[in-house]
Amino acid sequence: MIKTTKKHMLLLAAIASLGFSAPSAFAQVQDVVVDGTGEIPYVIDSRKVVARSGFGLCWRTGFWSPAAAETAMAGQFPVGCACDSDIVPAAKCTVAEAPAPTPLAKPSADKIKLSADALFDFDKAVLKPAGKQALDELAAKAKQVNLEVILAVGHTDRIGSAAYNKSLSERRAAAVKTYLVSQGIDSNRIYTEGKGKTQPVTGTQCDNVKGRTALISCLQPDRRVEVEVIGTK
């Protein structure tokens, strides 16, 4: 009789030890709050928090099945992710990484320097046939990109007054625009400007040239139209 009583006491002590020590071991387990009001495969309290055993295990209901553990939700994940992680596929329990954004195409800029003498007769702003051919090629290139803008800037040599050269450079840039529009380029995409003789490229190399004809020839690089095509491919 004494031996039986001792056995009972030892068994009760073991149960008590498990009952009081287990909850402390799982005190840090995070509450799982279930969404919805449908068939929930786990026992929940009035707060919709899943009830756990002293060992931190979720109490299952008669509705429990592997499929139910995957379909009943607790926030953005199935309830089973917290209660039966060995059953629910790991892919359903992690946030999918957003695909990397497609990098935006960077605009490219092709700057072409066209000799004004190839486009126009000297001191004129009417395009020559050879000038039209050069602009045909430029228009074809512009149509191969998602065009943003074309900049046409006219320049002259230093012969003549500043006011006259400014006007001539503007008229030549405008002539380039008019022709490009005739080749199907949107006029709203083309901007023109005339710099006159303010931006020569010859520097001082023609300062000692004698005679008008020789000077005109020497200053030829200054007479130009710079066309910049900006767009993405």
Structure tokens at 200: 């020569």
Quick check: is 123 in a domain?
Answer: yes
pLDDT band (50, 70, 90) for residue 37: low
Residue-averaged pLDDT of the chain: 82
Q: Helix or strand or coil: residue 47?
A: coil
| Predicted structure pTM score | 0.55
Higher-pLDDT residue of 46, 179:
179
Do 119 and 224 touch, CB atoms closer than 8 A? Answer: no
Are residue 196 and residue 119 in the same domain, yes or no? yes
Structural domain ending residue among the three candidates 97, 117, 141:
97
Q: What is the pLDDT of residues 180-195, one digit of tens each?
A: 999 999 999 999 999 9
Between 45-49, 103-107, 205-209, the lowest mean confidence (pLDDT) is in 103-107
Q: How many structural domains are present in the chain? A: 2
Residue 125 sits in a domain of what CATH number? 3.30.1330.60
Structural domain ending residue among the three candidates 97, 117, 149:
97
Structure tokens at 197: 């003789």
Q: Which helix (H) or strand (E) holds 23?
A: helix 2-25
Q: What is the pLDDT of residues 88-144, one digit of tens each?
A: 888 888 877 777 777 766 767 777 888 888 888 888 899 999 889 999 998 988 888
Quick check: is 53 in a domain?
Answer: yes
Are residue 75 and residue 117 in the same domain, yes or no? no
Residue with tokens 């490219």: 108
Do 88 and 78 touch, CB atoms closer than 8 A? Answer: yes
Are residue 160 and residue 221 in the same domain, yes or no? yes
Q: In what order do the strands lie in the sheet with 190-194?
A: 108-115, 224-232, 146-155, 190-194
Are residue 112 and residue 220 in the same domain, yes or no? yes
Quick check: is 5 in a domain?
Answer: no
Q: Rounded distance, CA 78 to CA 87, Å?
A: 11
Quick check: is 56 in a domain?
Answer: yes
Are residue 154 and residue 190 in the same domain, yes or no? yes
Are residue 89 and residue 194 in the same domain, yes or no? no
Quick check: is 146 in a domain?
Answer: yes
Are residue 183 and residue 138 in the same domain, yes or no? yes
Q: What is the DSSP string of 95-157?
A: PPPPPPPPPPPPPEEEEEEEEHHHHB-TT--SBPHHHHHHHHHHHHHHTTSEEEEEEEEEE--
Structure tokens at 31: 């509450």
Are residue 143 and residue 180 in the same domain, yes or no? yes
Structure tokens at 198: 């303010």
Do 88 and 70 touch, CB atoms closer than 8 A? Answer: yes
Quick check: is 22 in a domain?
Answer: no
Q: With 50 as the cut, is the pLDDT of residue 13 above it?
A: no
Structural domain ending residue among the three candidates 97, 125, 147:
97
Q: With 70 as the cut, is the pLDDT of residue 74 above it?
A: yes
Are residue 194 and residue 131 in the same domain, yes or no? yes
Q: Rounded distance, CA 170 to CA 148, Å?
A: 22
Which residues span the domain enclosing 81?
A: 31-97
**Virtual torsion, Cα 42, 46, 48, 50, nearest 10 deg:** -40
Quick check: is 66 in a domain?
Answer: yes
